[in-house]
């Protein structure tokens, strides 16, 4: 049976990494947080740029995302800083349900002196770092993987080969009892009838159709011509002509299993299996939504090349385009131009990709990790008060 | 995708084929429609991953790839000619 080596968390989730997360919960403490993380080599730093005046969907999404980053199983411990205790206390209380060590220090407790906050945080963070360094990887079943499925700077090779390859992996992990999530609602346009058929219930079928209609109507209301926007200039240069063509390639990433729910941005799925996230298409936002929902490993296809990776969850980059393989060697963790050319079948190449997934889940680095291309980018939905 | 073929037609009902290498105007290209081997003389250059129509189409026709409608022809296009944003258009999120 295929297994990987992961970090078992107190709540039973399994991390494929063991990060100390330095989390600045408000834009006010961003620079201080960066300074703190630089003093703690190996820590990952996430700064939430917004706080006061957030409304409705933004308010919910920011809280949900902050908590989600904290409880993501790739995080071993959290050092959180921010402005005031009430918000930090709420976030820390929610994150503590994971059973992991969470320390929060507010500016209010430091008399709003960034140097005091820096000193106290470095001491607290160092202690956390030492503590999580004692954790060891153990053998875990593939059911403990939660895949986030993304594509970026796609071209027709994505829809023909790389996305169907992700679909095979999604099916495999779902069949093992794990989880997978795909998003990018705009890229369901023209393919929504095929996705909706896979809704586990009539309500989910309808939710998929409603999500697409919502995005299509918003594009029309904004006076946006999708061609040139999505597909964007790189997609068009690569050979994609319309959103329908792009979508039909995109949804291949989701494989063939039933869709168990339509999630809001950053919402954690309530069950195992495959889930759809009604969210932004732009890769940095989309992937952060997956990570906040609990995805511990990201599979990211590209046609023309895309250097971006997620910070909290390792991101395996795959392309089938032979020209791209020749161009960006230190970006692509897996290439299969031999499948594109027809020398090897998708099914025959799949075990090689699964082996890489298991290696990376067990600690082997991705190019994006080695080069430090990771970032978290959280969606906004409207203006602030 | 099959070894030695120049383009792929994903579904036998598709009008659109995808180039598996850089194709040149005037060259004979080979692809399959279902199990049926086909040949066509290219009317234009078509870059790797870009599309061409496998039969003559007229303006307004719906064009398929993956067996699904992906665009409408905005002008008549000859078999073997590049089909892209200059002559095919999305049918979705169209401004009213």
DSSP B46: B
Contact A68, A294 (CB under 8 A): yes
| DSSP letter string, B2-30 | -TT-SEE-SSTT-SEEEESS-B-TT-EEE
Which pLDDT score, from 0 to 100, does residue B31 have? 96
Q: Does B18 touch chain A (CB under 8 A)?
A: yes
CB A119 within 8 A of CB A105: no
Residues of chain A with CATH 3.40.50.11400: 19-132
In this complex, how many residue pairs, one in chain A and one in chain B, have their CB atoms less than 8 Å apart? 101
What is the pLDDT of chain A when averaged over all its residues? 96
Residues 64-93 on B with a CB inside 8 Å of A are 65-66, 68-71, 83-85, 88-93
Whether residue A294 contacts residue A198, with contact meaning beta carbons closer than 8 Å, is answered with no
Q: What are phi and psi of A249, to 5 degrees?
A: -75, -40
| pLDDT score for A337 | 94
Interval A137-163 mean pLDDT: 97
Distance (Å, rounded) from C-alpha A251 to C-alpha A236?
A: 18
Overall average pLDDT of the A20-42 stretch? 97
Peptide bond into A231 cis (omega under 30): yes
pLDDT band at B64 (very low <50, low <70, confident <90, very high): very high
Distance in angstroms (rounded) separating the CA atoms of residues B46 and B80? 9
Indicate whether A382 pLDDT > 70: yes
Which residues, 6 or more positions from A351, have their beta carbon under 8 angstroms from its beta carbon?
A: none
pLDDT at site A226: 85
A209-268 pLDDT per residue, tens: 999 999 999 999 998 888 888 899 999 999 999 999 999 999 999 999 999 999 999 999
ipTM: 0.96
B13 vs A: CB within 8 A = no
Q: Which residues contact A280 (CB under 8 A, 6 or more apart)?
A: A183, A184, A185, A265, A286, A289, A379
Sorting pLDDT into bands at 50, 70 and 90, what band is A1? confident
CATH code of the region B7-89: 2.30.130.110
- Chain B residues in contact with A301 by the CB 8 A cut-off are none
Chain B CB within 8 Å of residue A334 CB? no
- Please tell me the distance in Å from B45's CA to the nearest CA on chain A: 13
Cα–Cα distance for residue pair A305/A325, rounded to 1 Å = 8
> Residue B2 has what pLDDT?
46
pLDDT digits (tens, 9 = 90+) for A248-261: 999 999 999 999 99
Q: Is the model's pLDDT at B1 over the cut of 50?
A: no
Q: Is A319 on the interface with B (CB under 8 A)?
A: no
Rounded average pLDDT over A318-346? 95
Partners of A219 on chain B (C-beta within 8 Å) are: 93
Q: Quickly state the pLDDT bin for B96 (edges 50, 70, 90).
A: low
Mean pLDDT in chain B? 94
Q: What is the pLDDT of residue A314?
A: 98
> Which pLDDT does position A224 carry in this prediction?
86
Is A241 close to B70, i.e. CB distance below 8 A? yes
Please return the burial class of A139, using the count of CB atoms within 10 Å of its CB with bins 0-12, 13-18 and 19+.
exposed
Q: Which of A311, A343, A310, A340 is nearest to A325 (CA)?
A: A340
CATH architecture of A19-132: 3-Layer(aba) Sandwich (3.40)
Q: Shortest CB distance from A321 goes to which of B49, B70, B94?
A: B49
């Amino acid at each position: 049976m295929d297994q990987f080596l992961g970090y078992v968390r107190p709540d039973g989730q399994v991390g494929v990494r063991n990060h100390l997360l330095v989390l600045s919960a408000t834009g006010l403490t961003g620079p201080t947080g960066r300074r703190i993380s630089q003093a703690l080599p190996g820590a990952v730093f996430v700064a939430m740029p917004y706080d006061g005046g957030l409304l409705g969907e933004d308010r919910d999404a920011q809280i949900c995302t902050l908590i989600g980053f904290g409880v993501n199983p790739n995080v071993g411990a959290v050092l959180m800083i921010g402005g005031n205790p009430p918000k930090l206390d709420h976030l820390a209380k929610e994150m503590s349900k994971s059973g992991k060590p969470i320390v929060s220090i507010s500016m209010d407790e430091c008399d709003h002196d960034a140097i005091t906050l820096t000193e106290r945080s470095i001491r607290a963070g160092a202690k956390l770092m030492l503590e999580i360094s004692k954790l060891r990887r153990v053998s875990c079943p593939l059911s403990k993987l939660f895949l986030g499925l993304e594509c970026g700077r796609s071209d027709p090779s994505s829809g023909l080969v790389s996305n169907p390859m992700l679909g095979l992996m999604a099916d495999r992990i779902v069949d093992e009892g794990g989880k997978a999530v795909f998003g990018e609602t705009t890229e369901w346009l023209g393919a929504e009838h095929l996705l909706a058929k896979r809704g586990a219930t009539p309500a989910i079928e309808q939710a998929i159709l409603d999500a697409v209609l919502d995005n299509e109507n918003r594009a029309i209301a904004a006076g946006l011509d999708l061609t040139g926007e999505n597909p964007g200039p790189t997609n068009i240069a690569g050979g994609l002509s319309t959103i329908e063509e792009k979508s039909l390639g995109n949804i291949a990433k989701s494989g063939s299993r039933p869709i168990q729910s339509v999630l809001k941005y950053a919402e954690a799925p309530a069950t195992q299996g495959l889930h759809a996230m009604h969210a932004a298409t732009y890769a940095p936002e989309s992937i952060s939504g997956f990570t906040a929902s609990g995805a511990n490993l990201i599979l990211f296809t590209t046609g023309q090349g895309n250097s971006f990776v997620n910070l909290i969850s390792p991101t395996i980059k795959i392309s089938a385009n032979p020209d791209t393989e020749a161009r960006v060697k230190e970006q692509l963790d897996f290439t299969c131009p031999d499948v594109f050319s027809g020398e090897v079948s998708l099914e025959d190449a799949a075990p090689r990709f699964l082996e890489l997934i298991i290696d990376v889940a067990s600690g082997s680095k991705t190019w994006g990790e080695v080069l430090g291309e990771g970032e978290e980018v959280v969606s906004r939905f409207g203006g602030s008060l | 995708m099959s070894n030695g073929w120049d383009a792929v037609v994903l579904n036998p009902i598709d009008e659109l084929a995808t180039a598996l290498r850089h194709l040149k105007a005037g060259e004979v290209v080979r692809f399959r429609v279902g199990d049926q081997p086909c040949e066509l003389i290219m009317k234009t250059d078509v870059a790797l991953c870009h599309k061409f129509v496998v039969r003559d189409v007229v303006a307004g026709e719906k064009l398929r790839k993956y067996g699904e409608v992906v665009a409408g022809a905005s002008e008549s296009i000859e078999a073997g000619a590049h089909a892209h944003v200059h002559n095919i258009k999305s049918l979705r999120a169209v401004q009213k």
